[in-house]
Structure 1
Amino acid sequence: MDIDAFVTAHQPTWDRLDQLVKRRRHLSGAEVDELVELYERVATHLSIARSSSRDGLLIGRLASLVARARSAVTGAHAPLWREVVRFWTVSFPVVAYRSWRWWLGATLASAAIAVVTGMWVAGSPEVQASLGTPEEIRQLVEHDFADYYSENPAGSFAAHVWLNNAWVAAQCIAFSILLGLPILYVLLQNALNVGVLGGLMAAAGKSDVFFGLITPHGLLELTAVFLAAGAGLKLGWTVIDPGPRPRGQALAEQGRAIVSVALGLVVVLLVSGLIEALVTPSPLPTWARIGIGVLAEAVFLTYVVYFGRRAAAAGETGDVERAPDVVPAA
């Protein structure tokens, strides 16, 4: 299909529909009829573009116009509470569930790197010496690591942790536009940092302190980061292998779906931050603090599997466009 000719032929129709949508609250009867007619016509144009072109900009522009026109034509909207319920029972869990192989792979690879790094640091005095002076390492393992969780008021600390972790997750999602390659670097840096710190604590005989402080919040926190990384990597891979769909359509659908991950992880990381601020430094026994972290992790994974599998079985994809405008076209 000649894209330039297609755009030239139909541009006036698209502009007119856009004008009517913007004035939808002040249309005459004839203009309402025209709005409906143009909506159907442009929906057909969108279908033709999707099936015959890989111009992502054109498809995105038409999809946005058709979505706004559909809203103007249908008028009624679902109650906000229903959209919120749908998000937490369908949109977010199904995207997480469908990308489970990606974030499980990120989890296993990161865990392996962290363990190997930790064992290397713990068993090599030379490596420890290269990381800092004996006084600096002693200050870290005996004071700084534990003090980090209690030196600030719980409220401000929770906000700081939430913003930091949300930023890491946002990086993982944003880097998907670069085929996801920078995500691998983010995961590597994170795994190395955890491994080095764990190795230094183990070498000082404080493994119990390390796991007692990092486990309560770390399970849910790292799961959220790995989920963001996995979703980002999946989107990056879609550029290489879009499957049977046109690449532009596949990227648009996966890109819209990943928005659900970004929004959902805001709440997941908030819960993790609250655990880190309120539970990790609390006087509760170590087994109780770890138990809270394990429980939070188990609840989250159960939620993703239950709702995600059910939504996937119903054919949901997590795409924020619940009913894309695709009509038959010759």
Structure 2
Amino acid sequence: MSSDGLRSSSSIQPSPDSRVRSAADRQTGDNSELMRSARFRKEREADWQRLETLVLRAERNGLQRMSFAETRDLASLYRQATTSLAIAREISLDKALLGYLEALTARAYLCVYAPQQRLGGLFQRFMTEGAPQAMRRSWLYILLGFLFLGLGALAGYLLYFENTDWYFVFMPAELADGRGPDATTGDLRSVIYGHETGTTGLGAFATYLFSHNTRIAIFVFGLGVFACAPAIVLTFYNGLILGAFFALHADRGLGLDLAGWLSVHGVTELSAICIACGGGLKLGAAVLFPGDRSRVAALRHAGHDAVKLALVAALMLVVAALLEGFARQLVQDLSSRIVIGWGIGAIWLAWFTLGGRRRN
């Protein structure tokens, strides 16, 4: 081989001395990085430990039980830790230090900025402010829910008197047997003022009506987002059942008696249906008429109040179940039934109209 080839070959292959120097340089760089991380940590470690202590105390006891000085230090040290994290990322310190700072700042963030109310406080705020304010903001949609239910009841009532066969069209088959146009007036009266608690008579109807109305409430809220139509149809259909059933008793001169029987739990239960319908309509209106917002943004904005309406409806259905299970059976006097049902309705109305108003 020529001398030029030998020189060329030797220039390609690094010498043992250069390889040793390269390894030494890498070792020096690693040592320098470790020293820099150690120095960075040593200068700030006391503040991090203090922050970690305050975070543990806040997580265990809550900010309410911490002193003013501790909460002030928590906020200040949190800001310092976020600055340290940004610097550590910028100068590429070791991963262990970065992981520690990321975890610490995330926990501190939750302590400083996350809501500090416990479940009881959130429930109290919902009952005193959130729910009634959402009801007032959504009054038009709730009124529409009452309107569709009322129109359905009126249609069922009038169609029954046009042709009694409509009763079997609207009324579920499992409840129509024995309580249709062929039933005697005495039989209808006996179940209104009877003490039966089994699965016959109006007890069965009340049980079915509650479970049926609960499903309706869920559906009218959940399906209202689809252009409002399902919520309107289901609420109207629920009114058809109520109207036909009331017409059957009114035809026998028992309309007022049935109204008293229904008032005990029906005022609360049917109002819950209309409120759930209002929530569904509000979601559907946000999709149909988003205004200046995008449909997603409009739906998100409407959802804040709509969800509260759904929670109010659920609460009212629970109360209606208690009234149906106890007061309906224990109270047999017509006037007392009306007073109980509409009195509780007045309490709901007072809560919705007066709750959460700020005093000037």
TM range (shorter): 0.5 to 0.7
TM-score (norm 2): 0.60
1:172 Cα deviation after fit = 1.4
Partner of 1:77: helix, strand, or coil?
coil
Question: Conserved in 2, the CA contact under 8 Å of 1:35 and 1:73?
Answer: no
Partner of 1:177: helix, strand, or coil?
coil
Letter in 1 for 2:144: G
1:250 aligned residue (292, 298, 307) = 298
1:281 Cα deviation after fit = 2.6
1:33 aligned residue (78, 82, 86) = 82
Question: Conserved in 2, the CA contact under 8 Å of 1:173 and 1:231?
Answer: yes
- Partner residue, 1:199: 247
- Partner residue, 2:351: 303
Q: Which runs of 5+ in 2 are unaligned?
A: 1-54, 57-76, 87-105, 171-175
Question: Conserved in 1, the CA contact under 8 Å of 2:279 and 2:309?
Answer: yes
2:274 aligned residue (209, 219, 226) = 226
- Partner residue, 1:58: none
- CA deviations 1:34-63 (Å, max 9, x no partner) are 6997xxxxxxxxxxxxxxxxxxxxxxxxxx
Q: Distance in 1 between matches of 2:206 and 2:107?
A: 39
1:31 Cα deviation after fit = 10
Question: In the alignment, does 2:228 pair up with 1:180?
Answer: yes
Name whichever of 224-233 and 98-107 sits farther off. Answer: 98-107
Letter in 2 for 1:228: A
Q: Distance in 1 between matches of 2:112 and 2:207?
A: 42
Question: Conserved in 1, the CA contact under 8 Å of 2:167 and 2:180?
Answer: no
Q: Distance in 1 between matches of 2:333 and 2:144?
A: 33
Q: Distance in 1 between matches of 2:246 and 2:178?
A: 16
Question: Conserved in 2, the CA contact under 8 Å of 1:92 and 1:264?
Answer: yes
Query: Which aligned pairs between 1:285-296 and structure 2 lie closer than 5 A?
Result: 285-296=333-344
Query: Does the C-alpha gap of structure 1 residues 125 and 180 become closer, same or farther in structure 2, counting only changes over 3 Å?
Result: closer
Letter in 2 for 1:281: Q
- CA deviations 1:114-140 (Å, max 9, x no partner) are 124313313545656988899853348
Partner of 1:242: helix, strand, or coil?
coil
Partner of 2:224: helix, strand, or coil?
helix
TM-score (norm 1): 0.64
Q: Distance in 2 between matches of 1:36 and 1:269?
A: 51
- Partner residue, 1:56: none
1:79 Cα deviation after fit = 3.5
Question: In the alignment, does 2:159 pair up with 1:151?
Answer: no
Q: Which has the larger radius of gyration?
A: 2
Question: Conserved in 2, the CA contact under 8 Å of 1:158 and 1:274?
Answer: no
Question: Conserved in 1, the CA contact under 8 Å of 2:197 and 2:329?
Answer: no
Query: Does the C-alpha gap of structure 1 residues 34 and 150 become closer, same or farther in structure 2, counting only changes over 3 Å?
Result: farther
Considering Cα pairs closer than 8 Å and 6+ residues apart, tell me whether 1 or 2 has the greater RCO: 1
Q: Which runs of 5+ in 1 are unaligned?
A: 1-23, 38-66, 315-330
Question: Conserved in 2, the CA contact under 8 Å of 1:120 and 1:199?
Answer: no
- Partner residue, 1:241: 289
